Amino acid sequence: MVADTQPQSPPQFETVDELLAFVEEMDAGELSRWIDSTDRAILRLLMDRVVAIINNKGGVLKTSIATNLAGQLAAAGTRVLLLDLDRQGNCAQDLGYGTDARDDKGLGIVQAVLGSTALLPIRNVRPNLDVVPGGKHLDNLRALLTAQRSQSRHAAADALVIPLAHIARDYEVILLDCPPGEPIVQEVAVGVARWLLVPVRSDASSRAGMSEVAERVETVREVNPDVELLGVLLTGTSQSATRIHERVYARVREDLGPDAYIFKSRIRYAEAAASDSRERGELAHELEKVVSTQPAWYEAMRSGQPVERLAGSASSLAGDYAALAQEFVQTLLEAESEGAADDEGASAGEDDSANDSVNEGAEAIDQDDSGDHRKQDSTSGGGESATVDGRASGEGQGVVA
């Protein structure tokens, strides 16, 4: 008799994987109610694969990396969301959706932040790749957050947490393309990101831009203490300029500490291929295919017809992005397992406010502890394909408890 009337004990989450599995089980209505009743600190744990591509300097290839990395990962079978947070909306050019009526130029982002509602991505911009467009309407986001900041110091850092929490479970990786010189919008990105990928060129201004990112991290630290540098990526360089590379690496370590990870991959200077790519709305690896089928220059000449020639360097550039995608996956998985190891032994089952918040909104739901909730279409995390499969076991992580 007594047993029938006792409330069922809410699920306990000792690891992020358990929390993700719990969220995976809910239908849209349950998810929405749970989000409404759950602390942002818990919702941020759902954002464990959000990577902001950020440098306060323009022209360091943030957007090119965001779109090409997203495209490479998606082509390898990883479910990817790309969020364009730049008023320039250049992701639309790289991916060729600028003429799509669904390109709302950032209006959807502003509405989602204003109403604390779900972001609505353009689905299947490529197979496995959805995109939330940016553009001119993001000026209103800046204005909105500047106004909100007078009431809440962390308005910007918190802005995307709820809109993204609604859809985060649909993706294995979420990439944020960040604007240069928009501190408040950068704060939105760093406030919701788990990882930062910082592209740098060899010039002094991109070094300064990197240090300004560190300031953003300090600003959001209080509400997003887990945000970390995934790595620094050298761009727009000659692959053989070893002395220049070494000099940049030394400066990065000076600025960010000796442990800062520097990607072994580099994105070479290939202006013509990059320009063709943006012009045609095709990523480097897509352009590479077109280039490989175009007639040789002498055949084109012989035909007497003007033939549009595309830069042959598309192939090398595509190779750089493919190498980056593989290293990105490997680095992410390693960083996750290091994080799990660091947290090993952290308290499991202790009563703290975060755990209370999880449990408050939780209905008694059977736990799926298979741990494969992110896998969906992807097959292998290692070897040749850039897919994100498998993660730190998280055993004993104690991330929530």
Ligand X SMILES: Nc1ncnc2c1ncn2[C@@H]1O[C@H](COP(=O)(O)OP(=O)(O)O)[C@@H](O)[C@H]1O
The interface mask with ligand X, positions 213-252, x = CB under 6 A, is -----------------------x----------------
Closer of 45 and 92 to ligand X (Cβ): 92
165 to 194, contacts with ligand X by CB under 6 A? Answer: none
Alpha carbons 56 and 4: distance in angstroms, whole number: 59
The interface mask with ligand X, positions 50-69, x = CB under 6 A, is --------xxxxxxx-----
Q: What sign does the dihedral 78-167-142-97 (CA atoms) show?
A: positive
Alpha carbons 199 and 175: distance in angstroms, whole number: 14
User: Does residue 319 interact with ligand X by CB under 6 A?
Assistant: no
Part in contact with ligand X (CB under 6 A); list of ranges 209-217, 272-280, 294-302, 349-357:
272-280
User: Does residue 62 interact with Mg ion by CB under 5 A?
Assistant: yes
Q: How far is the CB of 366 from ligand X (least distance, A)?
A: 45
Part in contact with ligand X (CB under 6 A); list of ranges 100-108, 213-221, 247-255, 273-281:
273-281
User: Does residue 270 interact with ligand X by CB under 6 A?
Assistant: yes
User: Does residue 278 interact with Mg ion by CB under 5 A?
Assistant: no
What does 61 interact with, of Mg ion, ligand X, none (CB < 5 to 8 A by kind)? Answer: ligand X
Closer of 23 and 184 to ligand X (Cβ): 184
Residue type, 122: I
Closer of 79 and 278 to ligand X (Cβ): 278
**DSSP state for residue 12 in the 8-state scheme:** P
3-state secondary structure of 245: helix
Tell me the CA distances in angstroms from 78 to 74, 308, 395, one per residue in order.
Answer: 5, 33, 24
What does 60 interact with, of ligand X, Mg ion, none (CB < 5 to 8 A by kind)? Answer: ligand X
Tell me the CA distances in angstroms from 156 to 71, 132, 146, 173, 182, one per residue in order.
Answer: 28, 18, 8, 22, 12
Closer of 32 and 316 to ligand X (Cβ): 316
Alpha carbons 265 and 200: distance in angstroms, whole number: 12
Pair of tokens at residue 319? 């190779």
Alpha carbons 76 and 68: distance in angstroms, whole number: 12
Part in contact with Mg ion (CB under 5 A); list of ranges 63-71, 101-109, 326-334, 360-368:
63-71
Least Cα distance to 54 among 161, 191, 166 occurs for 191
Q: How many CA atoms lie within 13 A of 168 on its CB side?
A: 26
Q: How far is the CB of 90 from Mg ion (least distance, A)?
A: 5
274 to 303, contacts with ligand X by CB under 6 A? Answer: 274-275, 278
81 to 140, contacts with Mg ion by CB under 5 A? Answer: 86, 90
Angle at CA 364, nearest 5°, toward 363 and 367?
Answer: 115
- Phi/psi class of residue 276: alpha, beta or left (left: φ > 0; alpha: ψ in -120 to 50)? alpha
Q: How far is the CB of 329 from ligand X (least distance, A)?
A: 21
Number of residues that bind ligand X (CB under 6 A): 18
Binding residues (CB under 6 A) for ligand X: these are 58-64, 90, 236, 267-271, 274-275, 278, 317
Query: Applying CB under 5 A, which residues contact Mg ion?
Result: 62-63, 86, 90
